[in-house]
Amino acid sequence: MADLQPAPAETPGTSLRKGRIGVIGIVFFVIAAAAPLVGMTGAVPVAIVLGNGAGVPGAYLLVGIILLLFSVGYSAMSQHVTNAGAFFAYVGRGLGINVGVGSAFISLMAYLTIQLAIYGFFGAVMGGMMSAQFGIEWAWWVWVLIAWALVLVLSVLSVDVGAKVLGVLLTLELLSLVITAIAVFVKGGPEGINLAASFSPTAVLAGGIGGTAGIALAFAFASFIGFEATAIYGEESREPKKTVPRATYTAIILIGVIFAFVTFAMVTALGSATVVDETLARSTVDDVPLLDPAAVLFSIAGQYVGDWMATVMSWLVLSSLFAGLLAFQNSSARYFFAMGRAGVFSQKLDNTNRFGAPGNGSILVSVITLVVTIIFIARGWDPVLNMFYWFSAVAVIAIVLVEILVSIAVIAYFRRTKEDTRVWHTMLAPILAVIGLVLGLYLLMSRFALFAGTAAEGSDPTTQAWALNPLGWFLVLSPFGIFVIGVIVGSLRRKKENVDAIADLVS
């Protein structure tokens, strides 16, 4: 890469404000993106019924271990690259400029689609809550537009303001989950506490990787989306070469422990032997199974803590969704900032406002999400069945795909540069991570119809892999198509001034 040109000189208007966020602030953004309460109310009951039942807590723990392996190489790379583009710069350093740009396109796709998915879910849940509690009958998209405006305002302020908002919301959310879980363990469920039923290899792999265990693992992978955003805040953090690794490990461990701990409490409350039947009974409405999965956790909270906790949780789901919106808005804005600075997109994105935040990037993200939302409104598509399921399923595939590229890039980068010769950090852990992530990608793609509701006519996505209709195939392959487009753009833009600076975006 001897022909690389130097990166543009940073100025107060083209650099993110440094030293504004620490480990705890970054962890807040990352765990907020994972939205634990939303996962507990939405994904976990479905994973229990369609997946490995009482073994779901172990599935979350297993996926957490795989992602910890990923974080070993990821954190080693963060010692040498501290850039708002994170994956963008990592892959560019390891696998070349064109592949780096391709990975950036995938990352942007992941963050934009998951944010759109959350907007759809937020609009539906908020609309239902306001109707039930206050008799306000506004369309789902009205609430989306209100949230959209608030997210835009907060995202153009300095990142520490957003972290403080997320900190308050996330603390309340986690407290509600931990209090409920502790109450279950103190009082004990119908069968007592049975660790083996949830964490033994037999329980975790019940039904096989190609069957029910694979479904549970796929849901678990989906629940961790957003943890990799730790490096995005490297430029704005205090002591980035220490802060980013610490935040990464902390975030993965906390997300894994929270999901495993609370899901185990749910299994204990319902009984490991009867957890599937109880989950179905508590979530079935008008003979439609799993129509109201949130009722499972809410009923447990009401039973073991009190009805007041169920009410609190129902409101905290909304704050959890809003926290996720803000977290992914920040992630997308910083990717646009990094790509503008590299010359891949307009260099107008390479500007920060007086708060030291990537204001133009935030505005662009909001414009994109607004346009897509308007399309869904005009087409009359459902905010949950279409907007949430389609986009969330695509986002998870996209982020796992780019994580695989990052792990390969870590191996290539350190083998070439010898800047870090630790075998575990730069070779063994990334290789194991690639194996685990490829397995996760296969599970997510093969069960895509189950996540996105795009099953082929006459097929049963709960028992059949790759049961996709034409729309399903388009969606499941779209991240790969976006990657190819990104590689082509990277190849074309290399000839432009300063584009080769992509590999020089280090602090």
In a domain, 396, yes or no: yes
In a domain, 16, yes or no: no
One-letter amino acid at 294 equals: A
In a domain, 6, yes or no: no
In a domain, 8, yes or no: no
**What is residue 499's predicted lDDT score, i.e. its pLDDT?**
44
Q: What CATH number does residue 345 fall under?
A: 1.20.1740.10
Per-residue pLDDT of the chain (507 residues; tens, 9 = 90+): 333 333 444 444 444 455 456 677 777 767 776 778 888 888 888 889 888 899 999 999 999 899 899 888 888 887 776 655 567 778 888 888 889 889 989 989 998 998 999 999 899 889 988 988 889 999 999 999 999 998 888 877 754 555 566 677 778 888 999 999 999 999 988 888 999 999 999 999 888 887 888 888 888 888 877 666 666 666 666 666 777 778 888 888 888 899 899 999 999 999 999 999 999 998 887 777 777 888 899 999 999 999 999 999 988 888 888 888 887 888 888 888 878 877 788 778 777 766 667 778 889 999 999 999 999 999 999 988 889 889 988 998 998 999 899 999 999 999 998 888 889 999 999 999 999 999 989 988 988 888 888 888 888 887 787 888 999 999 999 999 999 999 998 888 765 544 445 444 433
Could you write out the DSSP letters of every residue in 125-161? Answer: HHHHHHHHHH-----HHHHHHHHHHHHHHHHTS-HHH
Token reading at 463: 């028992």
Helix-then-strand count for the chain, H and E: 21, 0
**What is residue 2's predicted lDDT score, i.e. its pLDDT?**
34
Token reading at 19: 């030293």
3-state SS class at 165: helix
In a domain, 361, yes or no: yes
Q: What is the reported pTM?
A: 0.84
User: In the chain, how many domains are there?
Assistant: 1
CA-based max dimension of the chain: 68
How many angstroms separate the CA atoms of 290 and 251, rounded?
30
**What is residue 165's predicted lDDT score, i.e. its pLDDT?**
64
Q: What angle do CA 257, 281, 34 make, to 5 degrees?
A: 25
Name residue 237's beta-bridge partners.
Answer: 21
**What is residue 474's predicted lDDT score, i.e. its pLDDT?**
95
- The label of the residue with tokens 């479905």 reads 46
**What is residue 9's predicted lDDT score, i.e. its pLDDT?**
45
Token reading at 169: 């919301």
In a domain, 458, yes or no: yes
| Distance from the Cα of residue 426 to its chain's centroid | 25
- The label of the residue with tokens 């399921």 reads 389
Q: What length is written for the chain?
A: 507
Q: What angle do CA 405, 222, 181 make, to 5 degrees?
A: 135
How many angstroms separate the CA atoms of 165 and 174, rounded?
14
Is residue 487 within 8 A of residue 101, CB to CB? The reply is yes
Residue 367: count other Cβ atoms within 10 Å of its Cβ: 11
**What is residue 503's predicted lDDT score, i.e. its pLDDT?**
44
Report the interhelical angle of 294-304 vs 275-283 (nearest 10°): 100
In a domain, 4, yes or no: no
How many angstroms separate the CA atoms of 103 and 399, rounded?
9
Is residue 59 within 8 A of residue 204, CB to CB? The reply is yes
- The label of the residue with tokens 């083998």 reads 415
- C-alpha pair distances (Å), 435 with each of 63, 73, 93, 438, 442: 12, 14, 22, 5, 11
**What is residue 261's predicted lDDT score, i.e. its pLDDT?**
94
**What is residue 1's predicted lDDT score, i.e. its pLDDT?**
36
Is residue 171 within 8 A of residue 28, CB to CB? The reply is no
In a domain, 471, yes or no: yes
How many angstroms separate the CA atoms of 331 and 108, rounded?
9
**What is residue 324's predicted lDDT score, i.e. its pLDDT?**
81
**What is residue 355's predicted lDDT score, i.e. its pLDDT?**
63
Per the structure, the complete domain to which residue 499 belongs is given by 23-504
User: Which residues lie below 8 Å from residue 2, measured CB to CB, with a gap of 6+?
Assistant: none
